[in-house]
Amino acid sequence: MAEEDEESGPVVELGESEPVEGAPLARITSRLHYGIPKSDAIRREGDSVIRTPDGPRELADVLEASEETYFPREQDLTNAVRAVIGTGPVPTEE
């Protein structure tokens, strides 16, 4: 049966992986419980480094730049962070 699995579709070869510093925002926000005040989010995960289009940044620095003070849902925290860091591709190390 293993031979059938191998022959069932095209093989996609992956290139050399480029390391990216920081964690995806979703990984960090999923660790928190909601509703959460900004101060609690900073206390719990503020030292976590997230990936941004401008390179890695500590979550505390990003949240301090936000005017939001309370996040009732995970999506609210994500939106507040994205409002500060923007959206776009994350640079890889060269």
Q: Indicate the residue type of 27.
A: R
Using one digit for the tens of pLDDT, what is the confidence trace for 32-45? 999 999 999 999 99
Closest CA to 84 of 47, 44, 57, 45: 57
Query: How many other CB atoms are found less than 10 A from the CB of residue 76?
Result: 16
Q: How confident is the model at residue 5 (pLDDT cuts 50, 70, 90)?
A: low
pLDDT at 19: 72
Using one digit for the tens of pLDDT, what is the confidence trace for 21-76? 899 999 999 999 999 999 999 999 999 999 999 999 999 999 999 999 999 999 99
